[in-house]
């Protein structure tokens, strides 16, 4: 290990008590996306106590810039929590508080280091795709452009000068300490509204048009479609009937089917989405029911930079043996870091040290050594390596971004 890395790792160990205190406080301050006001206040408080300047970005997000010149390496930290399932309240059940904690520990040590490049640490709000009405209200009021924090930041040009992107995420994989090179699926969101005609179900059903029949037919049609998906593409479609009107003696005049379509690659995702969209439309038309299908972008599949992951793994090996690193895990989850990965060389490594179900009320941090102290070491080591050995990924960025905004986000 080189001297600078050794010094940084030692300082992270020396800061142990403060790092764990911050991490616990952040875990106990869960807020939903674009509502991370108290989280932002805490982060600003620590940055101010260190004399580190910051900028606000994307409503509740923040960014810190250290060093100067090329290359520019960005480290991302998600900020949002989730609703609790049982009763009211919120919980950091995706472990995003650990990402904030790692980003702060990184700033705390790197602010005093000589840096051969620029380190941008970006606290990104609103990763979980939930609470959609609230987010749409922010879009309508012009406060954000997009419901996902990273999509909003891409559109605002936050990544326009960035050469490489690093991120990490809590992982529940048993029997390992870290994972590297994992995939994330992409998804699109469909909503099919079926409008029929109400009528007396006994005396004159022939005078009505049953919208629920269209919804049931669409659900069945999508189930039949599943034969068309190659298992290697990991396509998931699980349509639910989210609204249905009517009582037993009135023909239902209104029904709604909602579904995500998920897949491992962009190609498979868009091919599957086309089939599902047609099916949702035509099942309504087949029964002479007025049908409106809308499609919204979710997140793109994450394809990671192998070049950066080789560096990430070298830094993991400073902390553990080869047998404790899981490589190329295929995950069914999705994240808006996938959108960043479609534009720039990007990685998201995983760290264990949590228990319970992700997005469940029993989620907890159980191994603080691994979950709080190791991620900032891997991040700082990889940042230094990227300053020494920059990756080449920027050529064509402007064209990729223009295409992304137009065809994916529909700008």
**Contact set with Zn ion (CB under 5 A):** 94
Measured from the CB atom, is 94 or 342 closer to Zn ion?
Answer: 94
Exposure of 407 by Cβ count < 10 A (0-12 exposed, 13-18 middle, 19+ buried)? exposed
Minimum Å gap between C-beta 122 and Zn ion is 16
- Confirm if 185 and 233 have CB atoms less than 8 A apart: no
Measured from the CB atom, is 94 or 222 closer to Zn ion?
Answer: 94
Minimum Å gap between C-beta 349 and Zn ion is 13
Measured from the CB atom, is 57 or 94 closer to Zn ion?
Answer: 94
Minimum Å gap between C-beta 80 and Zn ion is 8
Minimum Å gap between C-beta 282 and Zn ion is 34
Measured from the CB atom, is 30 or 252 closer to Zn ion?
Answer: 30
Measured from the CB atom, is 134 or 270 closer to Zn ion?
Answer: 134
Minimum Å gap between C-beta 143 and Zn ion is 23
Minimum Å gap between C-beta 96 and Zn ion is 6
Minimum Å gap between C-beta 333 and Zn ion is 7
Measured from the CB atom, is 251 or 372 closer to Zn ion?
Answer: 372
Measured from the CB atom, is 32 or 289 closer to Zn ion?
Answer: 32
Cα dihedral 133/240/92/131 (nearest 10): 0
Measured from the CB atom, is 76 or 214 closer to Zn ion?
Answer: 76
Measured from the CB atom, is 357 or 403 closer to Zn ion?
Answer: 357
Minimum Å gap between C-beta 149 and Zn ion is 12
SS (H, E, C) the chain: CCHHHHHHHHHHHHCHHHHHHHHHHHHCCCCCCCCCHHHHHHHHHHHHHCCCCCEEECCCEEEEEEECCCCEEEEEEECCCEECCCCCCEECCCCHHHHHHHHHHHHHHHCCCCCCCEEEEEEECCCCCCCHHHHHHHHHCCCCCCCCHHHHHHHCCCCCCCCEEEEEEECCCCCCCEEECCEECEEEEEEEEEECECCECCCCHHHCECHHHHHHHHHHHHHHHHHHCCHHHCCEECCEEEEECCCCCECCCEEEEEEEEEECCHHHHHHHHHHHHHHHHHHHHHCCCEEEEEEEECCCCECCCHHHHHHHHHHHCCCCCHHHEEECCECCCCCCHHHHHCCCCEEEEEECCEECCCCCCCCEECCHHHHHHHHHHHHHHHHHHHHHCCCCCCCCHHHHHHHHHHHHCCC
Minimum Å gap between C-beta 335 and Zn ion is 6
Name the residue whose CB lies closest to Zn ion: 94
């Amino acid at each position: 290990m080189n001297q600078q890395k050794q010094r940084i790792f030692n300082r992270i160990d020396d800061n142990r008590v403060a790092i764990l205190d911050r991490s616990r406080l952040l875990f106990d301050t869960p807020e939903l996306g674009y509502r991370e006001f108290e989280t932002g206040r805490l982060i600003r408080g620590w940055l101010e106590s260190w004399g580190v300047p910051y900028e606000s970005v994307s409503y509740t997000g923040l960014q810190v810039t250290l060093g100067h010149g090329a290359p520019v390496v960005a480290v991302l930290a998600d900020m949002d929590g989730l609703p609790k399932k049982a009763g009211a309240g919120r919980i950091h059940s995706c472990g995003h508080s650990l990402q904030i904690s790692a980003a702060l520990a990184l700033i705390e040590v790197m602010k005093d280091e000589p840096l051969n490049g620029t380190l941008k640490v970006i606290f990104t709000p609103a990763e979980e795709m939930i609470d959609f009405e609230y987010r749409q209200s922010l879009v309508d009021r012009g406060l954000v452009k997009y419901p996902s924090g990273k999509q909003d930041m891409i559109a605002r040009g936050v990544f326009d000068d960035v050469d490489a992107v690093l991120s990490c995420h809590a992982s529940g994989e048993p029997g390992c300490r870290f994972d590297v090179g994992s995939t994330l699926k992409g998804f699109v969101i469909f909503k099919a509204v079926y409008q029929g005609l109400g009528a007396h179900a006994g005396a004159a059903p022939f005078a009505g048009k049953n919208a629920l029949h269209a919804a049931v037919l669409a659900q069945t049609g999508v189930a039949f479609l599943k034969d068309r998906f190659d298992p290697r593409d990991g396509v998931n479609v699980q349509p639910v009937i989210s609204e249905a009107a009517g009582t037993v003696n009135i023909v239902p005049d209104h029904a709604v089917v909602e579904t995500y379509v998920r897949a491992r690659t962009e190609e498979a995702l868009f091919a599957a989405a086309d089939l599902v969209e047609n099916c949702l439309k035509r099942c309504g038309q087949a029964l002479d029911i007025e049908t409106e299908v809308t499609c919204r972008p979710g997140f793109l599949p994450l394809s990671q930079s192998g070049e950066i992951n080789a560096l990430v793994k070298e830094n993991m090996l400073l902390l553990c043996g080869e047998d404790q690193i899981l490589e190329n895990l295929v995950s069914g989850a999705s994240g808006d870091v996938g959108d960043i990965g479609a534009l720039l060389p990007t990685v998201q490594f995983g760290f264990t040290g949590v228990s319970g179900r992700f997005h469940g009320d029993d989620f907890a941090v159980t191994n603080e050594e691994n979950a709080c102290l190791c991620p900032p070491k891997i991040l700082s080591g990889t940042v230094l390596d990227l300053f020494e050995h920059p990756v080449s990924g920027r050529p064509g960025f402007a064209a990729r971004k223009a295409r992304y905004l137009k065809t994916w986000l529909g700008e």
